[in-house]
Structure 1
């Protein structure tokens, strides 16, 4: 993402942040190989945020990202969340992710939490 977006528009969590109490980090494996990762961050008031969603290069286009998204949405519902948000990029390399999120009912929304509107990133959300 740093290759496609100005540094000030990148909101990836640093590894140490993934260990804090308000973030739960998940990984998906296929025959001993890391296929995808994703995290669920507590925002409060029945809201959560999807963070750090990635599919390993060799698993892109093979359903690993979709499986991780389904897992994170199921976990959000299990926790009783009524709303999920995420931030992603606008440039072409991010469009497969945007299309995946749209296929699961996410739509562009106003910036939330610490995000600001800009030409390189967008916020999306879904009511659960």
Structure 2
């Protein structure tokens, strides 16, 4: 696979993007008990308070996706995923940076996220991007399977 060469806001209900979200679910769901799964579904990704971005390679193939759910000046990062063959080439960071810029332009003052403790590569990405560990936020409860992170916008 080639490097991601473009990131832009797109609709999440495109077949190749749906396939990325399904691949994320297929990867994560076996790792954690059902009560520790906090992904949002396709209908939620289509809401107007959600920024959804897709990273594409030089051939225009979707290689990654991610979303930020906006609420009261806070953006929750959701559904970040890069195809395994494309990892380590900057697509995840490009998605995260793009989404943060878009959210800031809409008044977002803080970013938060929840990820599984076994997602060490993702946690590393977020920490390199300036996210710091914190306690549960919003409707989340303390969960030994979850890592909560926060970053000022």
**TM-score, with normalisation over the residues of structure 2?**
0.78
Structure 2 equivalent of residue 127 of structure 1: 152
Matched, 1:32 2:60: yes
In 1, the alpha carbon distance for the partners of 2:128 and 2:37 equals 24
Alignment of 1:106 with 2:131, yes or no, is: yes
**Partner residue of 1:117 out of 121, 142, 147:** 142
Q: What is the CA–CA distance in structure 2 between the aligned matches of 1:100 and 1:75, rounded to whole Å?
A: 19
Partner deviation per Cα, 1:53-74 (whole Å, 9 max, x = no partner): 1011211111111110111111
1:61 aligns with 2:88: yes
Question: Number of aligned pairs?
Answer: 125
Where does structure 1 differ by over 6 angstroms across 4 or more consecutive aligned residues?
A: none
Alignment gaps of 5+ in structure 2: 1-27
1:83 aligns with 2:83: no
Q: Secondary structure at the match of 1:41?
A: strand
Corresponding residue for residue 52 of structure 1: 79
Give 3-state SS (helix, strand or coil) of 1:113's partner.
coil
